[in-house]
Amino acid sequence: MPALALEDIRVTFVSPDGGRYTAIRDTTLRVAPGEFVSVVGPTGCGKSTLLNVAAGLLQPSAGATRVFGEALSGVNRKAGYLFQSEALMPWRTALQNVTAGLEFRGSDGADAVARAEEWLRRVGLGGFGGRYPHQLSGGMRKRVALAQALILDPEIILMDEPFAALDIQTRHLMENELLELWSTNRKSVVFITHDLEEAISLSDRVVVMSAGPESHPLGEFAIDLPRPRDVAEIRLTPRFIELHGLIWSAMKEEVLKSYARQRQ
């Protein structure tokens, strides 16, 4: 049974003046327990929309979401979400941000603080618990967000271009850390990105979406690169380059389409 199953999803937005915009259609995505799946596609292809449906933050116009076989209603409680933009509560310190989820779920106090400190250490931020988000760099904030989501031990991790705003070195560092965290305790991951190299180096499977509107999956590719991987080094292996060529040839046309549409 898949951990997460999106079946024939269609999302149509209706604007107040009656305009309709179909972001995605006929999209089916199944993610097995412990599987790392990346969804790639040109900008504006509705990748984030798809993720919001999986998170239960957005109701699809048609189709069903199942989490471990159960139909999803409301927010997906089995999922942790890493957002693209700043999602930490700026009025809470790093530590208080990490304990937030435990607090919301009713487990307060010393135990929560101890666990949060442990998680901060695990993401390399031991000793930074007392800092407010604005006192941390972009990369550190992403680590806090990671600890904040993972402390709840979610079965499914949804990531929306979480490292897009980081510089390339920090990004590789974070990607390696993510892989390490993931490999010690394998959860299902849906990773959204427009960066094909990032997708290949991290995933077990890459799904390519078409250009929006009415975006839909064009194809999917199993990534048979050996683990453990180093995201910077694996890019130089022949198999990586081969896979990259294969997937890029499927993506290229869509990227050009999306580009042409934006230039109009």
Catalog residues that contact another protein under the rule CB under 8 A.
55, 57, 75-77, 79-81, 83, 85-93, 100-101, 103-105, 132-137, 140, 145, 148-149, 152
In angstroms, give the least distance from the CB of 256 to another protein. Answer: 31
Between the alpha carbon of residue 137 and those of residues 113, 118, 263, the distances in Å are: 22, 20, 34
Residue 206 and residue 76: Cα distance in Å, rounded?
A: 23
In angstroms, give the least distance from the CB of 86 to another protein. Answer: 6
Task: Note the maximum CA span of the chain.
Answer: 57
Of 91 and 228, nearer to another protein (C-beta) is: 91
DSSP 201-261: HH-SEEEEEPPSSSB-EEEEEE----SS--TTTGGGSHHHHHHHHHHHHHHHHHHHHHHHH
Of 146 and 243, nearer to another protein (C-beta) is: 146
Of 7 and 86, nearer to another protein (C-beta) is: 86
Of 64 and 75, nearer to another protein (C-beta) is: 75
In angstroms, give the least distance from the CB of 163 to another protein. Answer: 16
Of 90 and 219, nearer to another protein (C-beta) is: 90
Residue 140 and residue 78: Cα distance in Å, rounded?
A: 25
In angstroms, give the least distance from the CB of 235 to another protein. Answer: 29
DSSP 159-207: EESTTTTS-HHHHHHHHHHHHHHHHHS--EEEEEES-HHHHHHH-SEEE
In angstroms, give the least distance from the CB of 45 to another protein. Answer: 20
Question: Which is it for strands 4-14 and 62-67: parallel, antiparallel or unpaired?
Answer: antiparallel
159: CB partners within 8 A, 6+ apart: 81, 82, 189, 190, 191, 192
Of 144 and 234, nearer to another protein (C-beta) is: 144
In angstroms, give the least distance from the CB of 54 to another protein. Answer: 11
